[in-house]
Amino acid sequence: MTQATTGPGGTDEASPRPGRLSADDWARAGLHLLMTEGRQAVKISRLCSDFGVTKGSFYWHFADFDALMSAIARLYFSRELDAARGLVAVEAMPVEERLETMAAMLVDSRAFEGEAAVREWARADESVAAAVRDLDQRILRVVHEAFVELGFSEPEARVRAGLLVYAGIGFVYGRSALPVPTVDEIHEILALLMRRDG
Amino acid sequence: MTQATTGPGGTDEASPRPGRLSADDWARAGLHLLMTEGRQAVKISRLCSDFGVTKGSFYWHFADFDALMSAIARLYFSRELDAARGLVAVEAMPVEERLETMAAMLVDSRAFEGEAAVREWARADESVAAAVRDLDQRILRVVHEAFVELGFSEPEARVRAGLLVYAGIGFVYGRSALPVPTVDEIHEILALLMRRDG
DNA sequence: ACCTGAACACCGTTCAAGT
DNA sequence: ACCTGAACACCGTTCAAGT
């Protein structure tokens, strides 16, 4: 069988049998569709025709559509551990560099369509929503901690961290409508938030 | 006509014929479903069974599902003119009160589920996305103008207005995961943004 | 173990026919 | 003018049968 199944993910890394698919293959293709064409493009029949198999094949690997979505979520958030590990790496930096790096990450982040798609999807899937909440809280904690280290009081740090993180989340959604801040403007924002009273 | 059709929107205001529905009835019921149960709950068959009619009835009033959605969008944004008119009313206020009112509106706004639902929906419907963009840009312009009136330079005002509006948008999405700012904290945020250099 | 093929339920869509 | 009833396409789901 020399037929090159024109399906996605042509990563021929010693699959058990030539044409056979794994659950991971389905999840990967589903994640790709989710990222590139949005939530409503993820359909079993679409994946089947992309892979050139029938739906029965899908139902061998997954109980139902939600199971596929959960697998995609696990896949996405296991990659997203990179972002979380990025958070860990960031915590080792000196405070001011740390805040600059985080602000740059919030605004300049990779895969924005992906981020927005996942958050939209989170509204329909509680397990995804929980994962997004965890990530947001973790980011808030790191930013808050940074302001505390800079010498701000608890309430001062809370206000500054909240403003910055909410703005970052808003940026994921609103950037298509509103002007995107430049690097210089990000510097100004941080200078503004790090300024001391009086 | 004592028969109380148990459908939604029981606003008996002299309908042309007892049991007959108008396109507006469908849009109103659809908007209600959208707000209360989310985008994926808005289904023609669901509305039909709620109204106690067949699908043919729906297709008398609308060309297809997208036409229903457009009608819902028009309905929503005509109500949302209240918010836009709120914007107009707000422009008459003295600057500092104006900013406080807007910040309070962003955070304390009515119908949050509705706001988030509409923005989610905007990702799938370009006409809705355009309406949301218009509203966001309008808000940004008003906030930006306020900072200019306070004596800030163009770039200073842009940074401050952008930060505040992005945070407001982020709040619509992130408030389920992150702590909700108190009234005092909103005051602090504004004080922070209105503080002059040096 | 992995997939085909044929069936079914559900939902959007069409249309001729009713009042 | 507004709706019924019956049809069809599409998609998720099931399952017996194939290799």
Segment A157-181, tens digit of pLDDT = 999 999 999 999 898 888 778 998 9
Phi, psi of B93 (to 5 degrees): -75, 160
**Ramachandran area for residue A3 (φ above 0: left; ψ -120 to 50: alpha; else beta):** beta
Nearest-nucleotide field for A20 (CA, C1'): C2
Q: Which residues of B78-109 are buried (b: 16+ CB within 10 A; e: fewer)?
A: eebeebeeebeebeeeeeeebbeebbebbbee
Residue B36 has pLDDT above 80, yes or no: yes
> Does residue B62 lie in a domain region?
yes
Taking an 8 Å cut-off on Cβ atoms, the answer to whether B169 and A168 are in contact is no
- Percent pLDDT > 90 in chain B is 46
Please indicate, yes or no, whether residues B88 and B165 belong to a single structural domain of this protein: yes
CA distance A91 to A97: 10
Q: pTM here?
A: 0.77
For position B51, which CATH number holds? Answer: 1.10.10.60
- Asked if residues B4 and A89 have their Cβ atoms less than 8 Å apart, the reply is no
- pLDDT, residue A125, reads 75
C-alpha angle B196/A158/B194, rounded to 5°? 15
Chain C bases near protein Cβ (<7 Å): 1-7, 10-17
Please indicate, yes or no, whether residues B109 and B62 belong to a single structural domain of this protein: no
- pLDDT, residue B85, reads 73
Q: Among A69, A71, A104, A72, which Cα is nearest to A86's?
A: A104
Please indicate, yes or no, whether residues B34 and B112 belong to a single structural domain of this protein: no
Q: Would the Cβ of A43 be found within 7 angstroms of any atom in strand C? A: no
Decide: helix, strand or coil at residue B25: helix
Report chain B's mean pLDDT, rounded to a whole number.
83
Please indicate, yes or no, whether residues A30 and A100 belong to a single structural domain of this protein: no
- pLDDT, residue A36, reads 85
> Does residue B70 lie in a domain region?
yes
Q: Among A139, A125, A127, A150, which Cα is nearest to A172's?
A: A139
Taking residues B84-105, report their average pLDDT: 86
Residue B181 has pLDDT above 50, yes or no: yes
Please indicate, yes or no, whether residues A28 and A123 belong to a single structural domain of this protein: no
Please indicate, yes or no, whether residues A67 and A25 belong to a single structural domain of this protein: yes
- pLDDT, residue B2, reads 27
Taking an 8 Å cut-off on Cβ atoms, the answer to whether A165 and B170 are in contact is yes
Segment A187-198, tens digit of pLDDT = 999 999 999 865
Nearest-nucleotide field for A42 (CA, C1'): D11
* Residue, of B183 and A6, whose pLDDT is higher: B183
Q: Which two tokens stand for residue B99?
A: 């900013």
Please indicate, yes or no, whether residues B69 and B162 belong to a single structural domain of this protein: no
- pLDDT, residue B15, reads 42
A12: confidence class by pLDDT, cuts 50, 70, 90: very low
B109, B135, B140, B169: best to mutate for the A interface, most A CBs within 10 A: B169
Residue B140 has pLDDT above 80, yes or no: yes
Chain D bases near protein Cβ (<7 Å): 1-7, 10-17
Q: Among B120, B138, B134, which Cα is nearest to B39's?
A: B120
Give, in Å, how far the C1' of C10 lies from the CA of A6.
31
User: Domain span at residue A136?
Assistant: 78-194
Nearest-nucleotide field for B58 (CA, C1'): D3
Q: Which of A32-46, B71-85, B172-186 has the lowest mean pLDDT?
A: B71-85
Taking an 8 Å cut-off on Cβ atoms, the answer to whether A155 and B185 are in contact is yes
Segment A15-47, tens digit of pLDDT = 455 678 999 999 999 999 988 888 889 999 999
Query: How many folded domains does chain B comprise?
Result: 2
- Asked if residues B181 and B189 have their Cβ atoms less than 8 Å apart, the reply is yes
> Does residue B2 lie in a domain region?
no
Domain boundary among B30, B46, B75: B75
Which residues of chain B make contact with A154, given a CB cutoff of 8 A?
none
Taking residues A46-72, report their average pLDDT: 95
Q: Among B67, B39, B80, which Cα is nearest to A120's?
A: B39
Residue B50 has pLDDT above 90, yes or no: yes
Please indicate, yes or no, whether residues B30 and B88 belong to a single structural domain of this protein: no
Q: Which two tokens stand for residue B196?
A: 């002059």
CA distance A71 to B178: 26
B58: confidence class by pLDDT, cuts 50, 70, 90: very high
Whether the CB of A122 is below 8 Å from some CB of chain B: the reply is no
- pLDDT, residue A2, reads 27
A6: confidence class by pLDDT, cuts 50, 70, 90: very low
Whether the CB of A168 is below 8 Å from some CB of chain B: the reply is yes
Which residues of chain A make contact with B123, given a CB cutoff of 8 A?
38, 116, 120
Q: Which of A33-37, A143-147, B122-126 has the lowest mean pLDDT?
A: B122-126
Nearest chain A Cα distance for residue B174, angstroms: 7
Give, in Å, how far the C1' of D9 lies from the CA of A22.
30
- pLDDT, residue A188, reads 93
Phi, psi of B8 (to 5 degrees): -70, 165
